[in-house]
Amino acid sequence: MIAWRDAGPGDGVALAALFARCFTDTFGHLYAAKDLAMFLAGQGEDGWVQQLADPAYAVRLGEVDGAAVAFAKLGPPALPVRRRGQAAELRQLYVLADHHGSGAGQTLMDWAIAAARARGASELFLSVYVDNHRARRFYARQGFEEVGTYAFMVGTQRDEDILLRMGLRPQTA
């Protein structure tokens, strides 16, 4: 059973390692070793600690027996999208393959939507790799709509990501 909690600066090492493992397991075969290493170097512990200490970011962490297995990171919008109002960006949502189908992705998405609303966002954005069909189907089921494309760099390799948007209605009591 996955135990959920908000992550803090002390979780930087675990999140950097979890991100590197998830990204490599899912996409590592697409890249030359030097490009993958360059990309992962930019996603290291120091960056995680800085973001975890920054109130503009929020990270939800899932653990099994104290080991990190899933996370989602919400932050200020940085994607090249046309915003209609106050927005948030789901920067990352990763679940170790052993926990796919466990409901972890849905739990993290529910958290991200609630956290974005709590921050006053009226829309939520994210990007997803064009050939990540599993994730694209998941986001479509959530109600995200395609609003463009984006060049996502992994080292020197340029990939095409799809930009997605979800309008967030205020929660009713």
CATH of the domain at 50: 3.40.630.30
Q: Has residue 22 been placed in a domain?
A: yes
CA 146 – CA 105 distance, rounded (Å): 20
For the chain, the domain total comes to 1
Q: Has residue 7 been placed in a domain?
A: yes
pLDDT band, residue 141 (cuts 50/70/90): very high
pLDDT beyond 60 at 173: no
Q: Has residue 173 been placed in a domain?
A: no
Q: Has residue 33 been placed in a domain?
A: yes
**CA dihedral over 152, 154, 155, 156, signed as positive or negative:** negative
Q: Has residue 172 been placed in a domain?
A: no
Mean pLDDT of 86-98: 96
Domain that holds residue 72: 3-167
pLDDT above 90 coverage of the chain, percent: 94
